[in-house]
Structure 1
Amino acid sequence: MIMRQGQQLLLPANPLFVWGSLVAALLLNMLLNMGPLGRAPWSPDLLAVVLVFWTVHQPLRVSIGAAFVFGLLVDAHQGGLLGQHAMSYTVLSFLAITIHRRLLWFSVPSQAAQILPLFFLAHLVQLVLRMLGGGTFPGMWMFLAPLIEAVLWPVASVILLAPQRRAPDPDANRPL
């Protein structure tokens, strides 16, 4: 792949870090859901952000199957309609895989703008499934969550790519 000028060559992603960050995001999501503001309709889904990030950057490691399993785990934790988050994360992961090659050519803020419709669609899928299952409409504040998730995209990009940015063997003769 031809790299843009000024773009840093990244080290390979450590599989333990990839899966560890997904499990950490799942646990953080569970922890936030237990708090007083966790069930707020505007609260962002951190697992969705990390899942889309690794689906875009490592599509062979983190795929639709992983999204489905993590969605079932979130559904079991929240005690809601089983399959609601699983379907949402599966759709989100599928769409992220379809645009991952094009998305990586853009800057991180542009990526966030292009990921926003994916997050919006994922929340819309959750809403439709919740409503079909007999749930109530959470209010218009739920449309704030995809915006917050898109704002978190640059933060996730900096944090999750940090281990790959370090030099493998820094040397005065090899500046990479």
Structure 2
Amino acid sequence: MIMRPGQQLLLPASPVFIWSSLVVALLLNMVQNMGLWGRAAWVPDLVAVVLVFWTVHQPLRVGVGTAFVFGLCMDVHQAAWLGQHALAYTVLSYLAIAIHRRLLWFSVPSQAMQVLPLFVIAHAIEWVLRLLGGGIFPGWWMLLTPVVEAALWPVVSVALLLPQRRAPDPDDNRPL
């Protein structure tokens, strides 16, 4: 693959780090839902952000099946319709795989704007399924959720790429 000028060569991502970051995002989502804000409509879905990140950067390791399993975990935790988050995460992962080659050519702030429609689609699926199931309308604050998730994209990108940016054998004569 041809790299952009000035782009740093990254180390391979550790599978243990990938899966542990997904589990940590799931646990943070669970704590966040039980915490101060509860299930506020504007609270970002951290699992969705981390899932899209790894689907874009490691599509052979994290894909639609992973998205489905983590969606079922979120459905069970939130006592939602079984499959509501699973369907939304699956569609989100599929769309991320569809754009992952093009997305990596953009800068990180531009990537945030590119993934915003993906988050909008995923949340629209959740909201429609929730309303079809007889749930109440969560309010207009729900429109802020995809924007907050897109704003978190640069933070998540920097944080999750840090282990790959370190030199495997640091040396003054060979900076990687």
Secondary structure class of the residue paired with 2:12: coil
In structure 1, the partner of 2:67 is: 67
The amino acid across from 2:50 in the alignment is V
Instruction: Give yes or no for the alignment of 1:36 onto 2:41.
Output: no
Q: Measure, in 1, the Cα distance between the counterparts of 2:164 and 2:24.
A: 18
Root mean square deviation of aligned Cα: 0.7
In structure 2, the partner of 1:12 is: 12
Q: How does 1:138-157 map to 2 (within 5 A)?
A: 138-157=138-157
In structure 2, the partner of 1:27 is: 27
Q: Measure, in 2, the Cα distance between the counterparts of 1:157 and 1:150.
A: 11
In structure 2, the partner of 1:80 is: 80
The worse-fitting range, judged by mean Cα deviation, of 28-37 and 8-17 is: 28-37
Gapped runs of 5+ residues in structure 2?
Answer: none
The amino acid across from 1:90 in the alignment is T
In structure 2, the partner of 1:122 is: 122
Shift of 1:30: 0.2
Shift of 1:171: 1.6
Could you state the TM-score of these two structures normalised by the residue count of structure 1?
Answer: 0.98
In structure 1, the partner of 2:158 is: 158
Q: Measure, in 2, the Cα distance between the counterparts of 1:119 and 1:172.
A: 42
Task: Please give the per-residue CA displacement for 1:98-137, whole angstroms capped at 9, x wherever unaligned.
Answer: 0000000000000000000000110000001001111111
Number of residues paired by the alignment? 176
The amino acid across from 2:107 in the alignment is S
Shift of 1:80: 1.4
Q: Measure, in 1, the Cα distance between the counterparts of 2:39 and 2:30.
A: 11
Gapped runs of 5+ residues in structure 1?
Answer: none
Q: Measure, in 2, the Cα distance between the counterparts of 1:59 and 1:167.
A: 24
The amino acid across from 1:39 in the alignment is R
Could you state the TM-score of these two structures normalised by the residue count of structure 2?
Answer: 0.98
Q: Measure, in 2, the Cα distance between the counterparts of 1:61 and 1:80.
A: 27
Q: Measure, in 2, the Cα distance between the counterparts of 1:53 and 1:7.
A: 18
Shift of 1:11: 0.0
In structure 2, the partner of 1:168 is: 168
In structure 1, the partner of 2:52 is: 52
Q: Measure, in 1, the Cα distance between the counterparts of 2:20 and 2:38.
A: 22
**Where does structure 1 differ by over 2 angstroms across 4 or more consecutive aligned residues?**
none
The amino acid across from 2:106 in the alignment is F
Shift of 1:89: 0.2
